[in-house]
Amino acid sequence: MARMFFLVLPCLVAAEPQALRGADVPRKLFDDVACTGSGGLSQDSPSCYGGQVLVESFSLHVLSYDGSTGIVDLKAEGPQAAECAGATFQNDDNAITIENDNGCGLANYEYSVRYCPDQDYVIVNLVKPYAVRVVLQSQTCPSGAGEV
């Protein structure tokens, strides 16, 4: 099992840290994972996305979105747990910038986020606490998600 972990780990590690929080993120950070299309997040709220890397699970619930700004719940479960309810975000050419994530337990994370319209998933590029890309697949929202 440990041998398999060391074979898979290099595939998960990002090559180089770059600008964070979405605004100035070069597209090359996301080139290893297909991310194509024009258009943006669905304005039909709520929208939910989730994924996992090793023992860490991530979820993103878009509670509202008007075409450029919105409100989102973020959650990380595992050894580096964090949760941020009701954070505002900006979407600029599908680079999502979370505006008010301070005080949400995300201080241990440095990350950038991009929405991929053709694939209908979100890519989270973690730089800290470890360098890895996480693809959050579109999924059915849990009952009660999006109720504000």
Angle subtended at Cα 92 by Cα 113 and Cα 117, rounded to the nearest 5 degrees? 65
| Residue 80, in any domain of the structure | yes
What is the number of domains present in the chain? 1
Sign of CA dihedral 36, 37, 38, 39: negative
| Residue 1, in any domain of the structure | no
| pLDDT, mean of residues 86-93 | 91
Query: What integer pLDDT is reported at residue 29 of this predicted model?
Result: 43
| Residue 6, in any domain of the structure | no
Residue 68 structure tokens: 């450029």
Cβ atoms of 62 and 45 within 8 Å: the answer is yes
pLDDT one-digit tens code per residue, 10-55: 333 333 333 344 444 444 444 578 899 888 888 877 899 999 988 8
Q: Is 146 helix (H, G, I), strand (E, B) or coil?
A: coil
| Residue 107, in any domain of the structure | yes
| Residue 8, in any domain of the structure | no
Q: What is the three-state SS of 13-66?
A: CCCCCCCCCCCCCCHHHHCCCCCCCCCCCCCCCCEEEEEEECCEEEEEEEEEEC
| Residue 147, in any domain of the structure | no
| Residue 61, in any domain of the structure | yes
User: Looking at this protein, which amino acid is placed at residue 4?
Assistant: M
pLDDT one-digit tens code per residue, 60-76: 999 999 988 999 998 88
Q: Please tell me the pTM assigned to this model.
A: 0.70
Sign of CA dihedral 96, 100, 104, 106: positive
Domain extent for 45: 15-138
Q: How far apart are CA 29 and CA 17, in angstroms?
A: 9
* Alpha-carbon distance values, 108 to 79, 102, 105 (Å): 11, 11, 7
